[in-house]
Structure 1
Amino acid sequence: MKIIVIISCIGALMGLMAIMANNQIIARKNQVAQAFGSIEIYLKKRFDLIPNLVAMLNKYIAHEKEVLVKVTQLRSQVSTAMEPKEKIQASNELTKIMGGLDLNVENYPNLKADTQFLDLQNQLTDIEDHISAARRAYNAAVTVYNNKIQMFPINLMAQLRKDKAAVLLEIPEAEQKEININQLLNP
């Protein structure tokens, strides 16, 4: 009789541990999804702002149409991407093009003085900062999730559930270039 009680207690304890492990995995997976959702919200805000910026630039920059066409193409590419990695890759390309646009705008003093343009540019900068913060939050959530499913004893439940490690968002190589401090200090 004592053996049956002990075996029942051990079985109940193991079942409770399995339920807790399963719930922890689900919670971490949901955090990753929520963090990616935040990135998508800011990308949507940026996409909504880009047509206004392109329209404003069209008034001033008639001969730099290829940049504006590329921005529009990338915006479309990001919005039609199905996989998170594809979306982020197209978004990174768009960020690079938008950075180049700032440099080209320097050649147009009337545009730089336009308050509507300045407002759009400030909004875009703010959204870029939010996207960067959302990417950091996503990577933090992915790291916590990956740690959870790879550490004992929860990794046993993760293997049963066939959970796979999530992929961290990486900075494109073009944005990883070294900064030449001498160039910054000497105007």
Structure 2
Amino acid sequence: MMWIILIIIAVILGGIMTIYNSLITKRNRVKNAWSQIDVQLKRRFDLIPNIVETVKGYAAHEKETLENVIKARNTYVNAKTPEDAIEANNQVVGALNRLFALAESYPDLKANQNFIHLQTELTNVEDKIGYARQFYNDTVLMYNNYKQIFPNSFIANMFNFKDEPYFEANETERQNVRVQF
């Protein structure tokens, strides 16, 4: 009889260890996916000072727009959590949209080879960010689902595993883009 109890306890402990290890693995995948977004966002933020300097030469009186781009970039650099970084990213997107709208007002700037190159680089990075965001959200979905299903939810709560946030578009990014000629 004692052997049966020991076997039942071993099976339960083995199940708990398996679920716990799977939670750790999936949480680490989420962290890795976030770091891939972070790499692409840093590439974007490395391009921003070059774009701002290029635009400065053509639009020196547009100081506020240029300062907002740098301020948004610095907010991201100082973000401590993924939630802070997501919010800072949304600020950067808005500031960059205003910067490129400003560039439309300066035909010489739009024809500048350096500006065109930087704009192309930024477009490529934005595509990579989009793919990284999708991968991150897929990974978060798998982790959160695994964490929330029965009996995993008991173990996850016992060891204080938290849901991970999705990388979502902010309200500005959801609005229709107005194109005027």
Which is worse superposed, 98-107 or 20-29? Answer: 98-107
* Moved segments of 4+, more than 3 Å: none
* Residue in structure 1 matching 2:155, options 154, 157, 166: 157
1:170 CA displacement: 2.0
Whose radius of gyration is greater, 1 or 2? 1
State the AA in 2 paired with 1:159. N
TM-score by length of 2: 0.92
Q: Report whether the alignment pairs 1:84 with 2:82.
A: yes
Match of 1:138 in 2: 136
**1:150-179 deviations in Å (ceiling 9; x for gaps):** 101211211210112112222111221257
**1:37-73 deviations in Å (ceiling 9; x for gaps):** 1111111111111111111111111121111111111
Structure 1: segments with no counterpart, 5+ residues: none
Kept after mapping to 1: 8 A contact 2:76/2:88? yes
How far apart, in 2, do the equivalents of 1:125 and 1:101 lie? 14
* Residue in structure 2 matching 1:122, options 117, 120, 124: 120
Identity %: 36
1:28 CA displacement: 0.8
After TM superposition, the structure 1 = structure 2 runs for residues 36-55 of structure 1, keeping only pairs within 5 Å, are 36-55=34-53
1:93 CA displacement: 1.2
Corresponding pairs, count = 181
**1:102-156 deviations in Å (ceiling 9; x for gaps):** 2221222221112111110011111112122222211111111111111012112
Q: Report whether the alignment pairs 1:94 with 2:125.
A: no
Match of 2:21 in 1: 23
